[in-house]
Chain A
Amino acid sequence: MAEQASNRPALALHVPEPRSRPGDPVNFSDVDIGEPGKMPRPDEGCDPGEMKDLAYGLVRVLGDDNKAHGAWDPKLSPDTLREMLGHMAMVRAFDERMFRGQRQGKTSFYMKCTGEEATSVSAGMALASDDMVFPSYRQQGILIARGYPLIEMINQIYSNKGDKLKGRQLPIMYSSREHSFFSISGNLATQTPQAVGWAMASAIKGDSRIAATWVGEGSTAEGDFHSACTFATVYNAPVILNVINNQWAISSFSGFAGSERTTFAARALGYGLAGLRVDGNDALACYAAQQWAANRARANQGPTLIEYFTYRAEGHSTSDDPSGYRSAQEREEWPLGDPVMRLKNHLIAIGEWDEERQEAMDLKCAEEVKAATKEAEKNGILGHGLHHPFHTMFEDVFEELPWHLEEQAAQATRERQIKWPDKHPKDGAGK
């Protein structure tokens, strides 16, 4: 045995390395982004096996000439395009302000989606407003596209007394049943089988609403994602599984989720799901893909997995500094550009927009966000005041408070008199 072993070559473990680390030159020339307008657009009812190329290529509509090309052009009206651009600009303005707010100590945490605005805004517009979405944590674009008031978002981010979630959730973990927006979890990919379950329920009931979910490429490594794909295909659930491949999961590049050997859209093939791979910085391509998948699901023709090939232009959250693990050049060199600029340039190219109107719109967005922020601050900011009666800490663990939580609530209220004897005499006195 020992002799036999000695004749074998030594095995070597492969540990993926990203293309560049801080200070390294960046070269994306090996990234095959294909040509805009070249990918075929199959019928929505098509067999997943007939559209394998779409899981490896890249659906692109907007060309370097800023015009829309090919079969995937959703042919949106100029008004709709301007609306989309407006939402994307608003998301960017909102992110800027909230990031600054966190740095100013108004809250504990924030997550921007800079560079990924097209992926969620387009979906928010392509889906029906009552289609149920199970987002991850970087889909603020859906809420904004669905008209969720900015002040509600900011109240939640500040955990203040206006926060409908009663200060219980980490900032940006929104929930709005009214907007068919599921409660965001900090545990990754858990929302994916939940979306499939919601879609199954809709099908069981003979409803017409579909479900969509979002997950980062890093989180596709979770077992939940595998369960979601399996259940989606087994029950032909009316669901869209959106994978946002923004290249980075905090400091781990997409190679740690398996990108070195295949695409994320190609995961679909093994499950028998329809798979699409889309330029995530091309709002028209994103919209077209979501619309294709929604049509397919709504016609009972099955689930779709869509990979959005994009780039996380900023850090993961306010808690990490990306210059510590990747080259700052990447953002500038990203071969698919910036989604807001590209849509803006498209509108200008078709004669429906100009720099002056863009400037005015950006200003208006910034002012709206500023006004909402001022308004929200009247409800308080995190860490300044208790904001919520102590008893709310114990409510909603169960539908009714069992005896042990009543006892603990009484204890918290007693402690409050000692810890904060002078503050907010009306607050926290219990029920």
Chain B
Amino acid sequence: MNAQTETTKPQAGETEERRINMIEAINDALDIMLERDPDTIVMGEDVGYFGGVFRATAGLQEKHGKTRVFDTPISECGIIGVAVGMGAYGLRPIPEIQFADYIYPGLDQLISEAARLRYRSATDYISPMTVRSPFGGGIFGGQTHSQSPEAIFTHVAGLKTVIPATPYDAKGLLIASIEDNDPVIFFEPKRIYNGPFSGFYDKPVEPWKKHKDSVVPEGYYKIPLGKARHVTEGEQLTVLAYGTMVHVAEAVCADKGIEADILDLRTLMPLDIEAIETSVKRTGRCLIVHEATRTSGFGAELSALVTERCFYHLEAPVERVTGFDTPYPHSLEWAYFPGPVRIGEAIDKILKD
């Protein structure tokens, strides 16, 4: 089945309005796929009896059994390695890497094996795994629980990278990722597991229940990979963002009274280049926002693409707002975080002329 060609949206009024947070939406997607597809299995550190350190797999082992949902040794190399073998057998593994910061021991299995298996075996074998992993900062996680390593994966031929920004998208994109026959890195912005984040860290946390995209229907639906989402429509500038930064950018624009065309990219690979081009050609101005370090970050790719494809429509240089090129600091987290001040300055600069 192909995620790109099949979109099933719930019918309006079909089910009662249900508001849940992103963790619950992810749990819901896993539950549905474990039920629908007997070849899916969920595994990872602490995901079984305990239900995961963020509770994403809570209740799943009890419901689906110990051979469908189970704990693994603390070995990311092993987790991804056995997932490749399970995929070769015909299963559809959904491994969890407890934090994106822990994924590096599994990189050889992802980059050299999962990503290239279809190609090198000329479709003899495929690797249809979906690697779920919480990523990003803003929770005082220090340098080993805060990183955003998405650009490592978008740089690899054969991997898809998906990052949801709302509970509704998290469920639909996760189901699409699981059904996708290519390996997918599914990064979950853990700062917004329980509520959207404005970037104004000293303000009280808003729960998802107040956000329109926390309405998540029961049952199966999916959102195609490679399609961006229009967060707000505006003529003053285009903002390209994903994950937590979608909400931060939206809050800053609202705060400054800017009418921005904000695109939540949702998947970095494949990328919705059409939506990006259409928007930037209309606004003539482009701001890229991500939390990851700046140099060789995914913003560099976006900036190059926009420049190559929209140069004659641009009225100001493309701007990037990113994390700094340092390890993610603990006590100085809010000095590091690309929050309202950094974004605000960039917007002022873009709109100056």
Taking beta carbons and an 8 Å cutoff, which residues of A are in contact with B?
132, 134, 164-166, 168-169, 173, 175-177, 182-183, 185, 187, 190, 192-205, 211, 223-224, 226-228, 230-231, 234, 396-400, 402-404
Q: How far is the CA of A193 from the CA of B80 in the complex (A)?
A: 9
Q: Tell whether, in the assembled complex, residue B160 and residue A398 are in contact, meaning their CB atoms are under 8 Å apart.
A: yes
Stretch at the interface among B24-32, B70-78, B187-195: B70-78
| Contacting residue for A190 out of B109, B226, B271, CB 8 A | B109
Q: Nearest 6 pairs between A and B by C-beta?
A: A197-B85, A193-B81, A197-B82, A227-B78, A201-B89, A194-B85
Selected A-B contacts with CB under 8 Å, 26 pairs: A132-B89, A165-B122, A166-B122, A168-B119, A175-B121, A183-B120, A185-B113, A190-B81, A193-B109, A197-B85, A197-B88, A198-B86, A198-B88, A201-B85, A204-B67, A224-B78, A226-B75, A227-B73, A227-B81, A230-B73, A231-B81, A234-B73, A396-B119, A396-B122, A397-B118, A398-B270
Residue B157 at the A interface, CB < 8 A? yes
Question: When the two chains form their complex, are residues B273 and A403 in contact, meaning their CB atoms are under 8 A apart?
Answer: yes
Answer yes or no: B144 CB below 8 A from chain A CBs: no
Instruction: From A193, A204, A227, A402, give the contact of B41 (CB < 8 A).
Output: A204
Of all chain B residues, which has the CB nearest A211? Answer: B85
The complex places the Cα of A6 from the Cα of B39 at a distance, in Å, of 64
Decide yes or no: A193 and B85 within 8 Å by CB, A182-B125, A231-B75, A399-B2 being known contacts. yes
Near A by CB (< 8 A), chain B positions 36-65 give: 41
Which residues of chain A are within 8 angstroms of B119 by Cβ–Cβ distance?
168, 396-397
What are the residues of chain B within 8 A of A176 when measuring CB–CB? 124
Assess whether B296 is interfacial by the CB under 8 Å rule: no
Which chain B residues lie closer than 8 Å to A200 at the CB level? 82, 85-86
> Bound complex: CA of A197 vs CA of B117, how far in Å?
15
B158 touches A398 (CB 8 A): yes
Scan residues 157-173 of chain B and give those whose CB is less than 8 A from a CB of chain A. Answer: 157-158, 160
B153 CB, nearest partner CB in chain A, Å:
14
Q: How far, in whole Å, are A182 and B117 apart by their CA atoms in the complex? A: 10
- Does the CB pair A201–B120 fall under 8 Å? no
Q: How far is the CA of A165 from the CA of B182 in the complex (A)?
A: 18
- Does B181 sit at the interface, judged by CB under 8 A? yes
Which of A192, A203, A205 gathers the greatest number of chain B CB atoms within 10 Å? A205
Which of chain A's residues have a CB closer than 8 A to the CB of B83? 197
What's the nearest-Cβ distance from chain A to residue B351, in Å? Answer: 30
Most chain A CB within a 10 A radius of its CB, from B67, B78, B91, B93: B78
Give the residues from 248 to 299 in chain B that come closer than 8 angstroms, CB to CB, to chain A. 269-271, 273
Which chain A positions have C-beta within 8 A of B126? 399
Interface check B317, CB cutoff 8 A: no
A-B contact count (CB 8 A): 147
- A161 → chain B, closest Cβ, in Å? 13
Q: Is the CB–CB distance between B85 and A224 below 8 Å? A: no
Q: Mark B103-124, 1 if CB is under 8 A from A, else 0.
A: 0010011001100011111111
Q: How far is the CB of B23 from chain A (nearest CB, A)?
A: 26
Chain B residues with CB under 8 Å of A195's CB are 85
* Residue B90 is within 8 A (CB to CB) of chain A in the complex: yes
Known contacts A227-B77, A231-B73, A402-B270; is A164 also within 8 Å of B122 by CB? Answer: yes
CB of A231 within 8 A of CB of B67, answer no
For the complex, what is the distance from the CA of A318 to the CA of B89, rounded to whole Å? 33
Beyond A183-B125, A193-B78, list 12 extra A-B contacts (CB 8 Å): A173-B120, A190-B81, A196-B81, A198-B88, A200-B85, A227-B77, A231-B73, A398-B118, A399-B118, A400-B4, A402-B226, A402-B269
Q: Is B84 an interface residue (CB 8 A)?
A: yes
Please measure, in the bound complex, the distance between the C-alpha atom of A231 and the C-alpha atom of B109, giving whole angstroms: 15
Known: A201-B91, A396-B123. A223 touches B160 (CB 8 A): no
Shortest Cβ distance from residue A143 to the other chain B in the assembled complex, whole angstroms? 13
Q: In whole angstroms, how far apart are the Cα atoms of A201 and B256 in the complex?
A: 54
Question: Closest residue of chain B to A402, judged by CB?
Answer: B270
Could you tell me the distance in whole angstroms from the C-beta of B77 to the nearest C-beta in chain A?
5
Smallest distance from the beta carbon of B302 to chain A beta carbons, Å?
13
Chain A residues, Cβ within 8 Å of B121 = 165, 175, 177, 183
Which residues of the other chain, B, contact A164 by a CB distance below 8 angstroms?
122
A132–B105 Cα distance when bound, in Å, is 26
Residues of A within 8 A of B158 (CB): 397-398
Distance in angstroms from B205 CB to nearest chain A CB is 37
Taking CB atoms, residues of chain A closer than 8 Å to B89 are: 132, 197-198, 201-202, 205
A194 adjacent to B122 (CB under 8 Å): no
CA A183 to CA B118, docked complex, whole Å? 10
Residues of B within 8 A of A204 (CB): 41, 67-68, 91
CB–CB A228/B122 < 8 A: no
Chain A residue numbers with a CB within 8 Å of B108 are 187, 190, 224
- Kindly state the separation between the CA atoms of A192 and B84 in the bound complex, as whole angstroms: 11
A353 to B133, CA, bound (A): 61
* Measured CA separation A366–B12 after assembly (Å): 72
Distance in angstroms from B206 CB to nearest chain A CB is 36
User: Which chain A residues border B86 with CB–CB below 8 Å?
Assistant: 197-198, 200-201
Partner of A194, one of B75, B84, B91, B124: B84
How far is the CB of B268 from the nearest CB of chain A, in Å?
Answer: 11
Complex CA–CA separation, A182 to B84 (angstroms): 11
CB atoms of A223 and B125 under 8 A apart? no
CB distance from B231 to the nearest CB of A (A): 22
A132 neighbours in B (Cβ, 8 Å) = 88-89
Complex interface: chain B residues within 8 A of A399 (CB): 2, 118, 126, 180-182
> Min CB distance, B159 to chain A, in Å?
9
- State how many angstroms separate the Cβ of B116 from the closest Cβ of chain A: 8
- B24 to chain A minimum Cβ distance, whole angstroms, is 27
Q: How far is the CA of A358 from the CA of B117 in the complex (A)?
A: 41
A396 touches B85 (CB 8 A): no
In the complex, the chain B residue whose C-beta lies closest to that of A165 is B122
Docked pose: A169 CA to B271 CA in angstroms:
28
Q: A177-B124, A234-B73, A403-B270 are in contact. Are A194 and B88 (CB under 8 A)?
A: yes
A201-B41 Cα distance, complex, nearest whole Å: 9
Q: Would you call B125 and A177 a contact (CB within 8 A)?
A: yes
